[in-house]
Structure 1
Amino acid sequence: MNGKIPAVCRISTNFNRGAVCSRLRSSSSSSSSGGLAYSRRPLTWQPLLMAPQYTPPCQAEGRRREAGEGAAMVLVLRRCRVKSKVVMMMLMTVMMMMMTVVMMIICCSRLPSCRLPVRFDPPPADTCLASKALSHPLLQRTNGRVQRLPGDVLEVDLEGSSWQPWREPGNCSNYLTRFGRRLSPVLLVSLPCSGNTWLRYLLEGATGLFTGSRYFDDHLQHGGFLGEGVTMDKGTTLLHKTHGATLEPFTHDLVTRYLEVDPNLPTVLLIRDPARAVLSYYKLSKLIGGDRHRAEIPESMFRGEEFRDFVADVTLLWEELATDRLLWTTKPLYVLYYEDLTANPIHHLRLLLDFLSVPTDEGRLVCLAAHLDGSFRRNSSRTFDPFTQEEKLRFAQAVRRVNNLLELLGYPLIPAHADRPW
Structure 2
Amino acid sequence: MRQRGCGPALSIICSLPLWLCTIFSLQILVVFHRPQTRTALQDPPNPGADNDDNLTEWDNVTYILNATGDVCNRSRPLPKGTTVVPQTALLSLPGSGNTWLRWLIERLTGVCTGSVYHDAALKKAGFVCEGRQHGVMTVKTHFVQHLQAAKTILLIRNPYDALVAEFKRVASGGNHTGVTTTDLYHSRRFHVMVHELGATWLPSIRSVVSSPGSVLVAFFERLKDDPQRELRRLARFLLVRVDTARVRCVMRSLNGPAKRSRTPQDVNKGQLFYPAEKRQLDGDIAYASRLLKAFGIPNKDMPDYLQQAQR
The verdict on a shared fold, with TM-score over 0.5 as the criterion, is yes
C-alpha change, 1:140 and 1:324, in structure 2 (3 Å) is: closer
TM-score by length of 1: 0.53
**Of residues 154, 159, 183 in structure 1, which corresponds to 2:65?**
154
Letter in 2 for 1:314: L
The CA deviation at 1:139 is 7.3
Match of 1:185 among 87, 94, 102: 87
Deviations 1:101-146 (A, max 9, x none): xxxxxxxxxxxxxxxxxxxxxxxxxxxxxxxxxxxx9974334999
Q: Distance in 2 between matches of 1:277 and 1:175?
A: 28
Residue 187 of structure 2 corresponds to residue 304 of structure 1: yes
User: Can you list the C-alpha shifts for 1:317-367, whole angstroms capped at 9, x where unaligned?
Assistant: 11111111112x212111011011111112111111112221013222212
2:37 and 2:221 mapped to 1: Cα distance?
A: 24
Matched, 1:283 2:194: no
1:404 equivalent to 2:282? Answer no
1:212 deviates by 1.0
Q: Whole-Å Cα distance in 2 between the matches of residues 269 and 279 of structure 1?
A: 20
Task: Pick the aligned partner of 1:213 from 112, 115, 121.
Answer: 115
The answer as to whether partners of 2:177 and 2:258 remain within 8 angstroms in 1 is yes
- Name the SS of the counterpart of 1:390 in structure 2: helix
Structure 1's 186 and 147: CA in aligned 2 closer, same or farther, altered over 3 A?
farther
Following superposition, the deviation at residue 174 of structure 1 comes to 7.5
CA distance in 2, matches of 1:266, 1:347: 20
Aligned to 1:380, the other structure's residue is in SS state coil
The counterpart of 2:220, out of the listed 312, 317, 338, is 338
- The DSSP-based 3-state class of the residue aligned with 1:177 is coil
3-state SS of paired residue (1:180): coil
What's 2:96 paired with? 194
Counterpart-to-counterpart distance in 2, 1:348 and 1:207: 14
Q: Which residue is 1:313 aligned to?
A: 196
Q: Which of 125, 128, 137 in structure 2 is aligned with 1:238? A: 137
Matched residue of 1:189: which SS? Answer: strand
Offset at residue 412 of structure 1 (A):
3.9
| Equivalence for 1:390 | 276
Name the SS for the 2:261 alignment partner. Answer: coil
Are the equivalent residues in 1 in contact too, given 2:72–2:250 (CA < 8 A)?
no
Task: List aligned pairs for 1:22-421, cutoff 5 A.
Answer: 140-143=38-41, 153-154=64-65, 175-181=73-79, 182=82, 183-232=85-134, 236-244=135-143, 259-262=145-148, 265-288=150-173, 292-327=175-210, 329-382=211-264, 383-385=267-269, 386-413=272-299, 414-416=302-304
CA distance in structure 1 between the partners assigned to 2:73 and 2:196 by the alignment: 42
Q: Shift of the alpha carbon at 1:196?
A: 0.8
* 1:5-51 deviation per Cα after TM superposition (whole angstroms, max 9, x unaligned): xxxxxxxxxxxxxxxxxxxxxxxxxxxxxxxxxxxxxxxxxxxxxxx
Aligned 8 A contact 1:217 1:228 in 2: yes
Change in 2 beyond 3 A, CA 1:334/1:280: same
Unaligned 5+ residue runs, structure 1? 1-136, 157-170, 245-256
Question: What SS class does the counterpart of residue 348 from structure 1 fall into?
Answer: helix
Between the aligned partners of 2:220 and 2:60, the Cα distance in structure 1 is 21
Equivalences, count: 246
Distance 1:174 1:335 in 2: 24
Tell me the amino acid that sits aligned with residue 305 of structure 1. Answer: R
1:294 and 1:415 mapped to 2: Cα distance? 24
Give, in angstroms, the shift of residue 396 of structure 1: 1.0
Report how far residue 300 of structure 1 moved: 0.7
User: Partners in 2 of 1:346 and 1:176 — Cα distance?
Assistant: 19
Give the RMSD, CA atoms, in angstroms.
2.9
Measured after TM superposition, the shift of residue 172 of structure 1 is 5.6
Instruction: Kindly indicate whether the alpha-carbon contact (under 8 Å) linking 1:278 and 1:311 is maintained by their aligned counterparts in 2.
Output: yes
Are the structure 2 counterparts of residues 272 and 261 from structure 1 closer, same or farther at C-alpha, using a change threshold of 3 Å?
same
Aligned to 2:21: none
Q: Distance in 1 between matches of 2:184 and 2:255?
A: 27
Aligned-partner residue type, residue 196 of structure 2: D
Letter in structure 1 aligned against 2:247: L
Shift of the 147–138 alpha-carbon distance from structure 1 to 2, 3 Å rule, reads closer
Q: Percent identity?
A: 28
- Counterpart for residue 162 of structure 1: none
CA distance in 1, matches of 2:64, 2:193: 44
> Does the residue aligned with 1:359 lie in a helix, a strand or coil?
strand
Which amino acid in structure 1 is aligned with residue 168 of structure 2? K
For the residues of structure 1 that align with 2:283 and 2:241, how far apart are their CA atoms? 39
Contact 2:100 2:256 in 1 (8 A): yes
SS in 1 for 2:94: coil
Q: Equivalent residue of 1:241, what SS?
A: strand
> Which residue of structure 2 lines up, in the alignment, with residue 112 of structure 1?
none
Aligned residue type for 2:101: L
CA deviation after TM superposition for structure 1 residue 381, in Å: 4.5
The secondary structure found in structure 2 opposite 1:351 is: helix
Q: Deviations over 1:66-120 (max 9, x none)?
A: xxxxxxxxxxxxxxxxxxxxxxxxxxxxxxxxxxxxxxxxxxxxxxxxxxxxxxx
Structure-2 separation of matches of 1:378 and 1:146: 39
Which residue identity lines up with residue 415 of structure 1 in the other structure? P
Q: Specify which structure has the bigger relative contact order, considering alpha-carbon pairs within 8 angstroms and separated by 6 or more residues.
A: 2
